[in-house]
């Protein structure tokens, strides 16, 4: 099934046309939409959607698959989380609310591209080394939760990050791009992966197989041949940030158990080499994300501990 590449016009900015790059495969209308590149500092999803197009080209599609190949091109070209043209986070402005700013128009275009699909997969990546991680959003009905569980069974992530269900958590989700897409009748599955330097072939293969199984679950493909592993864990996530500037040296193994006081890594201080600072876990759980050896600034994410949510 050969892909059809086209552009959805967004705005003409001083004679320069800005558009949303879209790939359609299979018969119309599309039933699954896969979105990549919401944030400009998250390039890993672009690798996955490339693999997805190659894989789908060799398969018979019973219903269409739409891929938003790079949702925030200005931010991606600037290699920043959001575009300096308006400094707005595309994932935090809903459907753009009819605003004239570029990012708001792009958000509206993404929502429009997903409209009519049964399911959308919104792909992201963390700067830390991260297993295939899916999000369990707050404040959902029993019917929504059952549908989400079925999609997770198809995706088969290593970890499910369960958000809290406080009023603040529910408000944060209600203003997100995912919530705006869901208000148009399309169920959203948010997925996180490792950043590009940490993205290895086993993780890519698992992510691709999972997306293909989701495509099968919504009727785009016949059942995908690779069975789910069914070994995911549901966690609340506790994030730990760098206490200062320097080189973070990882020590604890990713995915292993940690207890309070366990040393997860060390910080080689920027101005006092030789006086390493041990960085310890302050609660029990699993080390679900961890930065590789990298220069960090105060407040940068360095690791997260997952506490059992079920």
For the domain that residue 263 is a member of, what is the CATH number? 2.40.50.100
Confidence of residue 98 (pLDDT cuts 50, 70, 90): confident
Query: Residues 146-170: what's their mean pLDDT?
Result: 93
pLDDT 10s digits, 281-304? 999 999 999 999 999 999 999 999
User: Are residues 283 and 221 part of one domain?
Assistant: no
**Structural domain that includes position 146:** 4-231
Q: Residues 2-16: what's their mean pLDDT? A: 80
Asked if residue 224 has pLDDT above 70, the reply is no
Determine the pLDDT at residue 226.
63
Looking at the fold, whether 213 and 259 belong to one and the same domain comes out as no
Q: What mean pLDDT do residues 166-191 have?
A: 94
Clarify whether residues 206 and 128 are in a common domain.
Answer: yes
Average pLDDT, the chain: 93
**Sheet harboring 4-13: ordered strands across?**
4-13, 16-25, 64-68, 30-35, 119-125, 187-193, 133-136, 159-162, 233-241, 301-308, 285-290, 257-258
Residue 161's alpha-carbon distances to 106, 131, 288, in angstroms, are 27, 11, 10
Task: Verify that 256 and 119 share a domain, yes or no.
Answer: no
Mean pLDDT of 259-281: 95
Report residue 20's pLDDT band, with 50, 70 and 90 as the boundaries. very high
- The rounded distance, in Å, linking the Cα atoms of 281 and 285 is 9
Q: Which of 211, 231, 251 is the last residue of a domain?
A: 231
* In a shared domain, residues 39 and 159: yes
More confident residue, 172 or 241: 241
Mean pLDDT across 161-178? 90
Which is more confident, 17 or 37?
A: 37
Total domain count for the chain? 2
| CA distances to 121, 135, 173, 276, 309 from 166, in Å | 24, 16, 11, 38, 15
Do 164 and 238 form a contact (C-beta atoms < 8 A)?
no
Distances (CA, A) of 239 to 76, 131, 282, 291, 299: 25, 15, 11, 12, 11
Of the listed ranges 37-41, 106-110, 158-162, 222-226, the least confidently predicted one is 222-226
Final residue before a domain boundary, out of 190, 215, 231:
231
Q: Is 251 in the same domain as 114?
A: no
């Amino acid at each position: 099934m050969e892909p059809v590449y086209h552009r959805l016009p967004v705005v003409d900015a001083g004679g320069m046309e800005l558009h949303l790059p879209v790939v359609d495969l299979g018969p119309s209308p599309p039933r699954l939409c896969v979105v990549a590149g919401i944030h400009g500092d998250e390039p890993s999803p672009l690798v996955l959607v490339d693999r997805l197009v190659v894989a789908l080209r060799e398969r018979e599609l019973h219903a269409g698959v739409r891929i938003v190949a790079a949702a925030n091109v200005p931010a991606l070209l600037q290699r920043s989380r959001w575009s300096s043209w308006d400094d707005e986070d595309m994932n935090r402005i809903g459907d753009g609310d009819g605003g004239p700013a570029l990012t708001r128009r792009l958000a509206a275009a993404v929502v429009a591209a997903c409209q009519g699909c049964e399911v959308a997969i919104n792909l992201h990546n963390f700067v830390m080394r991260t297993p295939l991680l899916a999000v369990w959003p707050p404040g959902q009905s029993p019917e929504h939760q059952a549908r989400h569980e079925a999609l997770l069974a198809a995706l088969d992530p290593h970890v499910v990050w369960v958000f809290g269900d406080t009023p603040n958590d529910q408000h944060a989700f209600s203003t997100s791009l995912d919530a705006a897409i869901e208000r148009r009748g399309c169920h959203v599955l948010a997925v996180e992966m490792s950043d590009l330097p940490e993205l290895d072939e086993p993780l890519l293969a698992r992510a691709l197989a999972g997306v293909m199984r989701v495509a099968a679950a919504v009727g785009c493909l016949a059942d995908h041949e690779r069975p789910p592993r069914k070994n995911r864990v549901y966690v609340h996530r506790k994030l730990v940030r760098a206490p200062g500037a320097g080189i973070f040296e990882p020590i604890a193994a990713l995915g292993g158990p940690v207890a309070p006081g366990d040393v997860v890594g060390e910080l080689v201080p920027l101005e006092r080499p030789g006086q390493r600072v041990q960085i310890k876990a302050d609660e029990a759980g699993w080390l679900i994300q961890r930065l590789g050896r990298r220069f960090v600034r105060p407040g940068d994410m360095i690791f997260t501990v997952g506490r059992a949510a079920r």
